[in-house]
Structure 1
Amino acid sequence: MSTQYDLIVIGSGPGGYVSAIRASQLGMKTAIVERESLGGICLNWGCIPTKALLRSAEVLHLAKHAKDFGLKIDKADFDLDAVVKRSRGVANQLSSGVKFLMKKNKIDVIEGTARLEKGEPAPKVIVKDKDGKVTSYQAKHVMLATGARARDIPQAGLVADKKLIWTYREAMTPDVMPKRLLVIGSGAIGIEFASFYHELGADVTVAEVMDRILPVEDEEISKLAEKDFKKQGLNIVTGAKVENLTAGKTTVTAEITDKSGQKQKQEFDRAILAVGIVGNVENLGLEALGVKVEKTHVKVDNFGRTGVKGLYAIGDLTGPPWLAHKASHEGVVCVEGIAGANHAEPFDPWNVPGCTYAHPQVASVGLTEKAAKEKGYEIKVGRFPFIGNGKAIAMGASEGLVKTIFDKKTGELLGAHMIGAEVTELIQGYVIARQGELTEQDLAHTIFPHPTISESMHESVLDAEGRVIHI
């Protein structure tokens, strides 16, 4: 294997491996360094296996409600080991797929742990393999795509012991099915695990320090989500401070103070920490190189440049939004900038869609209503509930809402926010509309197929104009 490359990518998650493929397509001799499994956290311990778990929960939910569809199922139950085994199988299949893609695109895979040293024309990449062998590599360009990991907050007593107090890794491969589960944090990760374990029968409590769940989403959507989750039976405590999280022999004890100041000491079988992530910046040699790091995230410009000659960074390592598709796109932008592609455009974080794959699903892109007002826009807002959509009613999924926000002066689509069945698939329509700079009138004159849930998107646009049809 060569030690000289045009580009070396450190980390093989969705940002890293996509960047390596794009570099190879552009004629660059490329290598990728990975210390664990190809595909990184997303394919092995994040996006993909969690969706496999949630799919099992969704099928179980449908089976439990079979009579609503005129069907008879005597008893709907689950096999936890089999559910986890299927999830791991899906992850392994996709990791093998990445290995195939590396071979297909003639990308060298270097197994080991990397660190950087000063070098020209870019920092040297020093890799230590599992046997302790150290090899030095040199490239014209080096990209950091080392991702991030679950955050602990020791000063608040929120530290995972990985036996009773879990991170996302342990939550994906549970040793037992907890009867009582505490989920600390109500972002996408926390809510997805809360939804999964609740569907499998756990008594779930979600504690969120902010005044509402899914705090990055539009406030109206957050409130609808909380209402729906509570209706299902989840115990949600907002404005909550969790202290003295203590693991005993078989249970976890937590002191939870609610927004009124009332403190309760509660006992759970397991707890999941979903209080954010921190960038993997340690032991890379960044300080010696002069790389700027703020709050565990590498500072970069819109082409992934760190300010150190020949060194770039992308994905979760560079800060929010912490999303796989953001990392992939950021990586392509970075590589095309390196290659001098004539169509290279800087990364724009304002058109990154966000998705939460709970029951119900939540999806969004662009500005919330509050953010649009704070930026000084005069806005028009359209809403359409799923109860007015024929396909949603036929599916037995009539609880949902599509909300669109437009600039009243120009008709620009400022933001779109959804809750309900399949909205994580629908949101891409609005992402394309924003990317193509379509206006309110363009969307209003677009034909949506019938019967589909996507018609709710059209009706929401029409509602902003005061000409909604089906409500």
Structure 2
Amino acid sequence: MSGSYDVLVIGGGPGGYIAAIRAAQLGLKAALVERRHLGGICLNWGCIPTKALLQGAEFSHALKDKAPMLGFDVALNGFELSKLVGHSRSVSERLAGGVGYLLKKNGVTVYDGTARLTGKGQVEVEAKDGAKTPLTAAHVILATGARPRVFPGINPDGENVWVSSDALVPKAVPETLLVIGSGAIGAEFASLFNDLGTKVHLVEMAPTIMPNEDAEVAAFVRKQFQRRGMEIHEGTKVVSVTPGPSGVVCRLSGPAGEVELTVDKVLSATGVVPNVEDLGLEALGVELDRGFIKTDAFCRTNVFGLYAIGDVAGPPCLAHKASHEGVLCVEALAGVAGVHPMNRATIPGCTYTRPQVASFGLTEAAAKKNGIAVKIGRFNFQANGKALAMGEAEGFVKVLFDKETGELLGAHMVGPDVTEMIQGYGIAQHLEATEESLAQVVFAHPTLSEAMHEAVLDALGRALNQ
């Protein structure tokens, strides 16, 4: 069997399946190749199952800390980790089935197998039984994603030394855990297991945890983590990780010299590397940039008719960035009028720790480095009625405007449900709102989002509630 298509997508993650569906909606004959599972890492072993587990961690926090505050005497009679993990897996399975339904509904042909480029517009798909199917397409979109990066000396075995997928299906809650890396993945798992009762050590090579976040936000999260009993090791390198009969022996090198810790489990969360191997890129001369496939503003590679989207095309490695690229890539190649290239600087980032972190745009340090004079507004959730009523008043909103033009340059939030709020600033930035126009917006009361309004007013020097 063989086939010829207008658009052929390799990879069925949040970028790939969206690209295939959009192509079909535009009347193009579309196919998708997926070697493992529809929905990709995000849906099956990343964003979605992690959030399901974090819901359990949040419930644990509510039972232990919030219930007494609200007058409830709750007796905990035990906790079955298998049920929480089962809930997480069922959520992923349900959504994966939904992706398959959407592809079928939109008339996308799905091939189960491993794809390899054999020439311009030519792809060979090898099924699990070894059967090979040649396909051709006018446009081929690479959406093969990325996998966890592992540094030398750290050898994940699924039992003692984990990567993120292992941490999603633990057999038991470890008494002690060392997390290597404090980006979104590492910070979320550190927060998760801490809430489930684990003693957590969080190690970061950079001078501060969450190094990509605004410095004030990172410092605030560090303080909150420490208050919860986590041990934070900043500016520290993991020299070696050695599983043994009594635990995993970890040698760390940091500001105070070398120390040795023994923990039950180690989680390596040190970023990702793109899945570019065995795709046939070398024969076609596809250009790479630091290992990622190099693309232009419309996801085109240097090879005519070949495109790349999502994690394989470079950071930020986020599902919503991949989905957006999938749409704009297909619409551009289809000749849809008015397609705008994506500004990666405005892509929101969300970290579902406790407290939550959400941000987009320039940090204060980046603005200063670029010589941009800024007006900064801040508002603390301790002065927000809804946050106080929820018993979650720790955190703040920080917003940056260009001092000369009033342009919204960035926003950085830490606190309750800020991951649901950041898009308000994102919409404002896209619509070119200034601090003066945002000040005129009426925010409902009582809501957490009022903190966003007050931060804008503070940038103008006229905050009303602090």
What band does the TM-score fall into relative to the shorter chain?
over 0.9
Q: Residue 158 in 1 paired to residue 154 in 2? A: yes
Give the number of equivalent residue pairs.
465
Alignment partner, residue 94 of structure 2: 93
Q: Residue 381 in 1 paired to residue 376 in 2? A: yes
In the TM superposition, what is the alpha-carbon distance from 1:244 to its structure 2 partner? 1.4
Choose which of 247, 263, 272 in structure 1 pairs with 2:267: 272
Query: In 2 relative to 1, CA 292–94 (structure 1 residues): closer, same or farther, beyond 3 Å?
Result: same
Distance 2:249 2:124 in 1: 44
Alignment partner, residue 144 of structure 2: 146
In the TM superposition, what is the alpha-carbon distance from 1:176 to its structure 2 partner? 2.3
Distance 1:51 1:249 in 2: 33
Distance 2:463 2:78 in 1: 42
Alignment partner, residue 4 of structure 1: 4
Distance 2:235 2:77 in 1: 36
Alignment partner, residue 438 of structure 2: 443
Which digits, 9 at most, give the CA deviation of each residue in 1:385-435, with x for residues without a partner? Answer: 000000000000110100000101110010000000000000010010111
Query: In 2 relative to 1, CA 23–264 (structure 1 residues): closer, same or farther, beyond 3 Å?
Result: same
Alignment partner, residue 47 of structure 1: 47
Q: Residue 193 in 1 paired to residue 213 in 2? A: no
Q: Residue 136 in 1 paired to residue 134 in 2? A: yes
Alignment partner, residue 233 of structure 2: 237
Contact 1:60-1:76 within 8 A present in 2 as well: no
Alignment partner, residue 246 of structure 1: 242
Distance 1:12 1:84 in 2: 24
Paired residues for 1:333-412 under 5 Å: 333-412=328-407
Which digits, 9 at most, give the CA deviation of each residue in 1:18-70, with x for residues without a partner? Answer: 11111111111100000011100000000000000000110111011211111
Contact 2:387-2:448 within 8 A present in 1 as well: yes
Distance 1:2 1:134 in 2: 9
Distance 1:15 1:75 in 2: 42
Q: Structure 1 counterpart of 2:98, which letter?
A: G
Distance 2:18 2:364 in 1: 34
Q: Structure 2 counterpart of 1:71, which letter?
A: F
Q: Structure 2 counterpart of 1:21, which letter?
A: I
Distance 2:255 2:18 in 1: 44
Which digits, 9 at most, give the CA deviation of each residue in 1:228-277, with x for residues without a partner? Answer: 110111111100111111122462111011223x2111111100000110
In the TM superposition, what is the alpha-carbon distance from 1:76 to its structure 2 partner? 6.3
SS of equivalent to 2:18:
helix
Q: Structure 2 counterpart of 1:247, which letter?
A: P
Distance 2:59 2:430 in 1: 34
Alignment partner, residue 296 of structure 2: 301
Q: Structure 2 counterpart of 1:236, which letter?
A: I
Contact 1:183-1:194 within 8 A present in 2 as well: yes
In the TM superposition, what is the alpha-carbon distance from 1:77 to its structure 2 partner? 4.1
In the TM superposition, what is the alpha-carbon distance from 1:294 to its structure 2 partner? 2.8
Contact 1:365-1:416 within 8 A present in 2 as well: yes
In the TM superposition, what is the alpha-carbon distance from 1:295 to its structure 2 partner? 2.6
Q: Structure 1 counterpart of 2:186, which letter?
A: G
Alignment partner, residue 325 of structure 2: 330
Distance 1:390 1:177 in 2: 36
Q: Structure 2 counterpart of 1:318, which letter?
A: A
In the TM superposition, what is the alpha-carbon distance from 1:296 to its structure 2 partner? 2.2
Contact 1:152-1:275 within 8 A present in 2 as well: yes
Distance 1:222 1:182 in 2: 19
Which digits, 9 at most, give the CA deviation of each residue in 1:345-395, with x for residues without a partner? Answer: 112101100000011100001000010111111110000000000000000
Choose which of 155, 172, 192 in structure 1 pairs with 2:168: 172
Distance 2:115 2:165 in 1: 23
Alignment partner, residue 67 of structure 1: 68
Which digits, 9 at most, give the CA deviation of each residue in 1:288-333, with x for residues without a partner? Answer: 1100123321011111111101100010001110100001111111
Q: Structure 2 counterpart of 1:11, which letter?
A: G
Alignment partner, residue 184 of structure 1: 180
Contact 1:362-1:418 within 8 A present in 2 as well: yes
Alignment partner, residue 79 of structure 1: 80
Which digits, 9 at most, give the CA deviation of each residue in 1:89-144, with x for residues without a partner? Answer: 0000000010110011000110000100113xx2x110000111001000010000
Distance 2:399 2:332 in 1: 33
SS of equivalent to 1:14:
coil
Distance 2:154 2:440 in 1: 52
Q: Residue 203 in 1 paired to residue 203 in 2? A: no
Query: In 2 relative to 1, CA 304–76 (structure 1 residues): closer, same or farther, beyond 3 Å?
Result: farther
Structure 2: any 5+ residue segments left out of the alignment? none
In the TM superposition, what is the alpha-carbon distance from 1:219 to its structure 2 partner? 0.4
Identity %: 53
Q: Structure 2 counterpart of 1:4, which letter?
A: S
Q: Structure 1 counterpart of 2:28, which letter?
A: M
Which one is further off, 417-426 or 250-259?
A: 250-259
Runs (4+) off by over 4 Å: none
Which digits, 9 at most, give the CA deviation of each residue in 1:173-192, with x for residues without a partner? Answer: 01222111000000000000
Distance 1:448 1:244 in 2: 52
Distance 2:372 2:41 in 1: 38
Distance 2:409 2:78 in 1: 44
Q: Structure 2 counterpart of 1:348, which letter?
A: N
Alignment partner, residue 31 of structure 2: 31
Q: Structure 2 counterpart of 1:410, which letter?
A: T
Distance 1:432 1:464 in 2: 19
Contact 2:146-2:311 within 8 A present in 1 as well: yes
Contact 2:2-2:134 within 8 A present in 1 as well: no
Contact 1:60-1:77 within 8 A present in 2 as well: no
SS of equivalent to 2:337:
coil
Contact 1:166-1:272 within 8 A present in 2 as well: yes
SS of equivalent to 1:228:
helix
In the TM superposition, what is the alpha-carbon distance from 1:344 to its structure 2 partner? 1.0
Q: Structure 2 counterpart of 1:141, which letter?
A: H
Distance 2:74 2:176 in 1: 27
Contact 2:2-2:133 within 8 A present in 1 as well: no
